[in-house]
């Protein structure tokens, strides 16, 4: 009886080992992932409304944290970078006087930027540590407003591009540190209010371009 139990255990162990060996884990060769911090400085950003003759010019400075996945194709790498949280603007208040207004002329507008995604290509300068990155960016601009005219601005896509030059340091542990700087630019945005007492209200945002810098930590597999 002991011999039979030993044989059964041995056969079970053999099949268990065979099943484990038959399951091949997908290869991560060529893949890398990491975290980044990116800063922008848009010194000539302008915002305006058709309900007001005033055009405000503001310096927009922001630092974003993001995660990314990258794949090495040999002469270049391709990757996707994602900001896993939303950016919230300050609330803008505007008091207007018009016979169309139904809420004491008080308008509140606030916006969120969500799903900021960047697709990019990194081209290294061979054996120098230098590289060039070209990227296209896309995000969702979500407006949250209380309009005196009962209209709504709605949402819009925020699209842009960036070109940077950088230098990377290989720590010899499978981790690389990158630093880069360059230029980033987003398309101008114009959103017209709809569904209220006055459909002519329009907000515009222009001048979203300027220097950008990025610091990344990359883990290669």
The pLDDT tens digits for 118-156 are 999 999 998 899 999 999 999 888 776 655 556 667 778
Q: Check residue 107 and give its pLDDT.
A: 62
Q: Quick check: 192 pLDDT over 50?
A: yes
More confident residue, 158 or 118: 118
CB-based burial label for 201 (10 Å; 0-12, 13-18, 19+): buried
The encoded tokens of residue 206 equal 């222009």
Of 48, 153, 49, the C-alpha closest to 98 is 49
Condensed to tens digits (0 to 9), the pLDDT of residues 11-30 reads 344 445 444 444 455 667 88
More confident residue, 141 or 35: 35
C-alpha span between 189 and 142 (Å, rounded):
12
Condensed to tens digits (0 to 9), the pLDDT of residues 193-207 reads 665 555 556 777 788
Q: Quick check: 162 pLDDT over 70?
A: yes
The encoded tokens of residue 23 equal 């399951």
Structure pTM? 0.70
From residue 212, give the alpha-carbon distance in Å to each of 27, 112, 184: 34, 21, 6
Averaged confidence pLDDT in the chain: 76
The encoded tokens of residue 78 equal 């391709």
Give the domain ranges of the chain. 28-220
C-alpha span between 175 and 146 (Å, rounded):
48
From residue 25, give the alpha-carbon distance in Å to each of 20, 21, 208: 10, 10, 45
Q: Check residue 49 and give its pLDDT.
A: 63
C-alpha span between 10 and 166 (Å, rounded):
58
Q: Check residue 6 and give its pLDDT.
A: 46
**Residues above pLDDT 70, as percent of the chain:** 62
The encoded tokens of residue 49 equal 């409304």
Assign domain 28-220 to a CATH class.
mainly beta
């Amino acid at each position: 009886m002991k011999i039979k139990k030993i044989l059964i255990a041995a056969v079970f162990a053999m099949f268990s080992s065979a099943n484990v060996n038959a399951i091949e884990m997908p290869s991560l060769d060529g893949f890398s992932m990491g975290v980044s911090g990116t800063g922008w400085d848009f010194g000539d950003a302008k915002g305006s409304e058709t309900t007001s003759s005033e055009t405000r010019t503001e310096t927009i400075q922001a630092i974003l944290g993001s995660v990314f996945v990258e794949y090495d194709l040999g002469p270049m790498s391709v990757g996707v970078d994602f900001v896993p949280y939303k950016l919230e603007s300050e609330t803008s208040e505007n008091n207007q006087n018009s016979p169309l207004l139904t809420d004491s002329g008080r308008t509140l507008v606030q916006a969120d930027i969500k799903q900021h995604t960047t697709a990019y290509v990194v081209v290294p300068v061979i054996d120098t540590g230098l590289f060039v990155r070209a990227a296209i960016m896309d995000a969702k601009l979500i407006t949250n407003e209380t309009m005196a005219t009962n209209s709504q601005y709605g949402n819009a896509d925020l699209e842009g591009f960036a070109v940077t030059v950088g230098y990377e340091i290989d720590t010899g542990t499978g981790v690389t540190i990158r630093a880069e700087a360059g230029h980033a630019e987003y398309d101008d945005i114009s959103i017209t209010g709809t569904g209220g007492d006055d459909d002519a209200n329009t907000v515009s945002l222009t001048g979203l371009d300027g220097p950008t810098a990025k610091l990344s930590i990359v883990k290669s597999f």
